[in-house]
Amino acid sequence: MKGRWFKVYAIGYLLFLYAPIIILPMFAFNDATVIAFPLTGFSTRWFAAMFEQPTLGLAVKNSLFIAITSSILATTLGIFAARASTRYRFPMKAGIMGLIMLPLVLPEIIVAVSLLVVLLGMGVNLSLWTVILGHVLICTPFTIAILSSAFQSLDQSLEEAAYDLGETAASTFRLIILPLVMPGIISSLLISFTISLDEFIIAFFLAGTEPTLPVFIFSQFRFPAAVPVIMALGTVLVCLSIVLLTIAEFFRRRGIAKTGGKDTGGFL
């Protein structure tokens, strides 16, 4: 009896979470401009319409550039920070790590507004690079979280063994540490890419006149006729996110299997 209520609760919970997302492809393939039931017929014309929007193309290009650049930068910074925090002791370590991780809990709007004020104050022109700056700031805590667990599960004697067998610190890093944390690096790249790709607030404040994908989508909602196209775009993005996160998780698990460790839970 008890078990059945849990089942009902679980199904209700999942519906609440995912029903809105299921609506997305439904209307993306619906042959009507108005977003309302009943569905009128199957059509792929909204997907075709996507390609006729020049601003959309530019927004996608900008967003991909921002996401790729910020994920690489954030992951690089994350590697240094995770390595330092798991391997070395230094003064004020807890405080420094806390400050790095802080953007994880700071309201994004505060981060965006403060960055805007500071950048304008410094006389920096808003561009894609200012968005990248903001995205690196919010992605780095995520990359550190992922990479710390990758570095943590690395037995320190592995490094010592390589060093003992004649390798230098640099070649030990390349031959032993890097291959073993590579799954963590890949999953960190993919997750920061995903975060950056759909980030709205910072992009909205710091992009200047350049459109990014989320900002473009938001702006399109002013035109009812454009809504089905957005639905189609949303469908593509959801599929892309699922694929990326699946790849990230695949690499994370393969890394665990390879090093013979125990799965301690990841983001998926």
Partner 1 sequence: MTDKPTMIAFQDVQKYYGDYHALRGITAEIRAGEFFSLLGPSGCGKTTLLRTIAGFEGISSGAVMIDGRNMAGVPANQRPTNMVFQSYAIFPHLTVAENVGFGLRKAGLSKAEMASRVGDALEMVGLKGFGDREAHALSGGQRQRVALARALILKPKVLLLDEPLSALDKKMREQMQVELIRLQRQVGITFILVTHDQEEALVMSDRIAVMFEGEIAQLADPETLYRRPNSRRVADFIGTMNFLPAQIIGESGDTVEVEAQGFGRLVLNAEQAPGGTSGEGAVVGFRPETLTILFEGQTASDRESMAVIEEVVYYGDMTYYDVKLAGSDAAIRISMRNVFGRPVLEIGDETRVAWSPGALVLFR
Return the structure tokens found at 186. Answer: 């890949």
Is 179 a binder of partner 1 (CB under 8 A)?
yes
Is 166 a binder of partner 1 (CB under 8 A)?
yes
Q: Where are the alpha helices (DSSP H) in the chain?
A: 2-28, 45-50, 54-87, 93-101, 108-121, 128-152, 156-164, 169-172, 178-197, 201-206, 213-220, 227-259
Is 250 a binder of partner 1 (CB under 8 A)?
no
Is 97 a binder of partner 1 (CB under 8 A)?
no
Q: Which of 23, 68, 96, 158 binds partner 1 (CB under 8 A)?
A: 158
Is 163 a binder of partner 1 (CB under 8 A)?
yes
Is 177 a binder of partner 1 (CB under 8 A)?
no
Taking residue 63's Cβ as centre, other Cβ atoms within 10 Å add up to: 26
Which residues touch 207 (CB under 8 Å, ≥6 apart)?
A: 62, 126, 127, 128, 130, 131, 215
Is 164 a binder of partner 1 (CB under 8 A)?
yes
Is 165 a binder of partner 1 (CB under 8 A)?
yes
CA–CA distance, 196 with 204 (Å, rounded to integer) = 12
Is 41 a binder of partner 1 (CB under 8 A)?
no
In whole angstroms, the minimum distance from the beta carbon of 83 to partner 1 comes to: 18
In whole angstroms, the minimum distance from the beta carbon of 258 to partner 1 comes to: 6
Q: Which of 7, 45, 174, 258 binds partner 1 (CB under 8 A)?
A: 258
Is 160 a binder of partner 1 (CB under 8 A)?
yes
Q: Among 49, 58, 66, which Cα is nearest to 211's?
A: 58
Is 174 a binder of partner 1 (CB under 8 A)?
no
CA–CA distance, 169 with 150 (Å, rounded to integer) = 19
Judged by the rule CB under 8 A, the positions of this chain that interact with partner 1 are 155, 157-158, 160-168, 176, 179-180, 258-260
